[in-house]
Structure 1
Amino acid sequence: MHLALQLIESFGIFLALLAAGMAVPFAIAVPAIIYLLMQNGIAALRGIGLVTWGSMDSFTLTAIPLFVLMAELMQRSGLSFRIYRGLAKVVARLPGGLLQTNIVGCALFASISGSSVATAASIGGVALPQLVQRNYDRRLSAGSLAAGGTLGILLPPSIAMIIYGSFTDTSVAKLFMAGVIPGGLLTLMFMAYIAIRAQFGGAVPRGEGVSGQSWLAALTDVVPFALLIGAIMGSIYAGWATPTEAASGGCLFAFILCLVWGDLTWEHGVLALQRTVQVCGNLLFIIYAAYIYAYAIGVAGVGESITSWLVGLHLSHLEFFASLFVLYTVLGCLVESIGMIVITVPLLYPVLGRYGIDPIWFGVILVMYVELGQISPPIGINLFVIQSIWEGELGDVVMGTIPFHIIMFVLLFLLTAFPALALWLPSQMN
């Protein structure tokens, strides 16, 4: 009980520092250091050197900068616009018009970037001016882009899944495959909702006709990216490459695409590298701080105490997941996505075995919770990404995401009732 109170105090310090405006890595590391000093004094700090080396000396984490660089190259060279232009014609016949393009474009770009923020920013920057110009429903337009951007951490490759795998020693390749069916299903559910709104809502244009010649020409904008995705995921699924090796090959392929189909210049390449360093520096700093936090609670034996306490409550599986839903709903309003993962996984992972929960399946559930957090006010990051690139009110973006919240709750229920939705594809891997 004493340990639990100290942990609550340290977590309270974390939230207070966040509220005061401190950067996330420092807000995580400072309570961890304080907690170490409260437990064993100065002597407890001696292990930080080993933690520093162990946290960053990870082959798994090397995939992150490669996927980020891939997305940055495609964004800087203008290929994100080309993807959207091609998809706008390919799916033009579907009810909902350009809103369907938003969802499909986000899904396709998510399969390249692995980042929700990059997905929402890239597709949103191209789509919003056209949507406003054509008088699409403003709330639904913004909501479809904010929610569609969350597909970036569910559809592989997923930076969130890479981080989860590094903390839990779970196969990142299997985590990637576990996200394919839920991610595809969520994409179809989003598209179905937009189609229903187009048919009965009256605020969304119906599908537009496109000639067969234009449709075939649009495929030239889409097929190269489909081949890129197929090469990355196919090599991982077949067991020919690890996620890091597939990312390096995909990065080279993307570079060639940017030279041939895009407008990649020396200046664009330098900007892409600079942005990659900034993004990865921020991510890895958060991960490093989280490892210190995990070390602090490990030294104190908090993980075992929390496991025993939770098991002692004799919660059913449904009650356990309900408590997780409450936890991540609250955290989603206060902490950004990576922070949610790195803070909670060291505490929750030891509990999974006592409940007989598959860590791969739980990784997908966790990512779903994080997705919800990214579009939950007041600090859902995708809400602000979309707000920053259009002239509407933040309230319109929030209201536009509510139907997509409900759809994601439905998918969470389906994943809980039918775990095979996430586990079947990883079980078929070589």
Structure 2
Amino acid sequence: MMAHLQIAITFVLFLGLLGAGMAVPFAILVPALVYLFMQGGVAAFSGIGLTSWGSMDSYTLTAIPLFILMAECIQASGLGFRVYGGLARLFRRMPGGLIQTNIIGCALFAAVSGSSIATAAAVGNVALPQLGARNYDRKLSTGSLAAGGTLGILFPPSIALIVYGTFTETSVAKLFMAGVAPGVLLTLMFMLYVGIRTMVRPDLVEQQERGSQRIAWVVRALCDVLPLGILIGGVLGAIYAGIATPTEAAAVGCIAAVVICRLFATFTLHTFFASLKRSTLIVGNIIFITYSAFIFSYAMSYAGVGEEITSFIVGLHLTKPEFFLALLILYTALGALIESLGMIVITVPLLAPVLSGYGIDPIWFGIVVVMFIEMGQITPPIGINLFVIQSISKGSITEVVQGTIPFHLIMFILLALLMMFPQIALWLPTRMIG
């Protein structure tokens, strides 16, 4: 009974610190230290040093700063503006016009940023002024950007998948490839919805977007999009072909990004240093969250909490659908409190031991977890992407929430498809070379 009370105190403290506005890393770390002290006093802290070294001495984690630097260089150079403009010319005749460009732009930027928030912010800053000037429907505009931003943690190089792979000791390269097909499918489903919606309600978009295409415009548009396409294709192709690990591909991608930004955009030494500074701040936050989560995991394992949770869940005799329904409720609730990375580092170490009892493939489960987290990113009241887009659009949060509802339902459809047909995620990883 005392052990259960200590666990309850720990989680109440965790939720209380989050609710009080404490930064996520500290809100994770402080309860972990309190729990260790309750378990074994000062002597329980003796393993923290070894845990700290073992958790941070990770080759896999080195990919995170490299991918973030690659994305920051592209964003700081203004290449994102150029790519969005090229996409707008290529897809202007599709039903939905610039709304389709929002979805495709988010998918492309997701393939270099690995972050939901960064994707929503980068494409939103470029797109919303143009959408507003052309009198596009505000709900559809903001909803497409908030939902499109969630692609950032599904497409490789997803930071969330890197952290998931670190905690579960799963191949990050295979996790990356597992996210490709669901990411492409979700993008196409979003685009199909936008196309049907704007054909039924043509007043939602500017009609002149369907004007004639000039060959010169198409060629120029392809030239604007091609540099980023080559970068994405090179990085992911090297990983898929087994030529490079994700970390090696990220390192080469950083160099290629600098060259591409220098050749095709405005990229000076000052811009590069600014990108390094922003990357350092972002990486510091991510690594601190990850470190805090490892200490939290150590605290839980010190008293055998992981084994107790595993026994408890298995003892409930939940069917696989019931298990996933419970996870949906869990991640929806957490999505109202913390961002995606925090959800992963808190829950995955506790859930991973349960997977074998249900015969669940950890690679497939990683994609399902990311899907749950994507939904949390656009779930009120604290879905982070909602506030990112609202802050850019200067509109009401209600407007953004209403715009995301159809996209939220589409995510449920994809999640159901993943559960019925796991090979959607697993087909590509099983055919990787090397």
TM interval, shorter chain, is over 0.9
For the 8 Å contact 2:355–2:362, the answer to whether it is kept is: yes
| In 1: Cα distance, 2:93 partner to 2:62 partner | 41
Which amino acid counterpart does residue 376 of structure 2 have in structure 1?
A: G
| In 1: Cα distance, 2:108 partner to 2:175 partner | 18
Which amino acid counterpart does residue 116 of structure 2 have in structure 1?
A: S
Greater displacement, 389-398 / 199-208: 199-208
Q: CA deviation at 1:375?
A: 1.1
Q: Quick check: 1:208 aligned with 2:210?
A: yes
| In 2: Cα distance, 1:208 partner to 1:113 partner | 30
| In 2: Cα distance, 1:417 partner to 1:224 partner | 37
| Structure 1 counterpart of 2:65 | 65
Query: What SS does the corresponding residue of 1:239 show, helix, strand or coil?
Result: coil
| In 1: Cα distance, 2:2 partner to 2:173 partner | 40
1:166-205 matched pairs, under 5 angstroms: 166-202=166-202, 203-205=204-206
Q: Quick check: 1:389 aligned with 2:374?
A: no
Q: Quick check: 1:146 aligned with 2:146?
A: yes
Query: What SS does the corresponding residue of 2:350 show, helix, strand or coil?
Result: helix
1:115-264 matched pairs, under 5 angstroms: 115-202=115-202, 203-206=204-207, 207-209=209-211, 210-264=213-267
| In 2: Cα distance, 1:406 partner to 1:8 partner | 34
| In 1: Cα distance, 2:365 partner to 2:83 partner | 32
Residue 373 of structure 1, aligned match among 373, 376, 382 = 376
| Structure 1 counterpart of 2:273 | 270
Deviations 1:245-269 (A, max 9, x none): 0001111111001100010112211
Which amino acid counterpart does residue 210 of structure 2 have in structure 1?
A: E
| In 1: Cα distance, 2:271 partner to 2:128 partner | 23
Aligned residues with identical type, % of pairs: 63
Deviations 1:272-323 (A, max 9, x none): 1110000000000000000000000000101111111111111100100010
For the 8 Å contact 1:146–1:386, the answer to whether it is kept is: yes
1:327-366 matched pairs, under 5 angstroms: 327-366=330-369
For the 8 Å contact 1:197–1:204, the answer to whether it is kept is: no
Deviations 1:24-73 (A, max 9, x none): 00000011011111111111100000111111111101011111111111
Q: CA deviation at 1:213?
A: 1.9
Query: What SS does the corresponding residue of 2:271 show, helix, strand or coil?
Result: helix
CA 1:27–1:241: 2 relative to 1, 3 Å: same
| Structure 1 counterpart of 2:316 | 313
Greater displacement, 7-16 / 47-56: 7-16
Which amino acid counterpart does residue 84 of structure 2 have in structure 1?
A: Y
Q: Quick check: 1:427 aligned with 2:430?
A: yes
Deviations 1:297-354 (A, max 9, x none): 0001011111111111111001000100110111111111111000001110000011
CA 1:324–1:4: 2 relative to 1, 3 Å: farther
1:37-76 matched pairs, under 5 angstroms: 37-76=37-76
Q: CA deviation at 1:8?
A: 3.1
Residue 290 of structure 2, aligned match among 284, 287, 291 = 287
Q: CA deviation at 1:422?
A: 0.4
Which consecutive residues of structure 1, in runs of 5 or more, have no partner in the other structure?
A: none
Greater displacement, 380-389 / 158-167: 380-389
Q: CA deviation at 1:393?
A: 1.0
Greater displacement, 69-78 / 202-211: 202-211
For the 8 Å contact 1:375–1:401, the answer to whether it is kept is: yes
Query: What SS does the corresponding residue of 1:179 show, helix, strand or coil?
Result: helix
Greater displacement, 116-125 / 357-366: 116-125
* Equivalences, count: 430
For the 8 Å contact 1:4–1:306, the answer to whether it is kept is: no
Deviations 1:176-235 (A, max 9, x none): 000000000000010011101110023234552321221121000111111111110110
Which amino acid counterpart does residue 228 of structure 1 have in structure 2?
A: L
CA 1:2–1:353: 2 relative to 1, 3 Å: farther
Which amino acid counterpart does residue 12 of structure 1 have in structure 2?
A: V
For the 8 Å contact 1:198–1:205, the answer to whether it is kept is: no
Query: What SS does the corresponding residue of 2:210 show, helix, strand or coil?
Result: coil
| In 1: Cα distance, 2:293 partner to 2:216 partner | 53
The runs of at least 4 consecutive aligned structure 1 residues that moved more than 2 Å come to 1-9, 204-207
For the 8 Å contact 1:329–1:372, the answer to whether it is kept is: yes
Which amino acid counterpart does residue 288 of structure 2 have in structure 1?
A: F
Greater displacement, 376-385 / 11-20: 376-385
| In 1: Cα distance, 2:75 partner to 2:309 partner | 44
Which consecutive residues of structure 2, in runs of 5 or more, have no partner in the other structure?
A: none
Q: CA deviation at 1:163?
A: 0.3
Q: CA deviation at 1:6?
A: 2.9
Which amino acid counterpart does residue 114 of structure 2 have in structure 1?
A: G
| In 2: Cα distance, 1:142 partner to 1:135 partner | 13
| Structure 2 counterpart of 1:298 | 301
| In 2: Cα distance, 1:186 partner to 1:4 partner | 41
Q: CA deviation at 1:5?
A: 4.2
| In 1: Cα distance, 2:390 partner to 2:270 partner | 28
| In 2: Cα distance, 1:316 partner to 1:89 partner | 49
What TM-score results when the alignment is normalised by the length of structure 2? 0.97
Query: What SS does the corresponding residue of 1:389 show, helix, strand or coil?
Result: helix
Greater displacement, 288-297 / 386-395: 386-395
Which amino acid counterpart does residue 99 of structure 1 have in structure 2?
A: I
| In 2: Cα distance, 1:293 partner to 1:232 partner | 33
| Structure 1 counterpart of 2:410 | 407
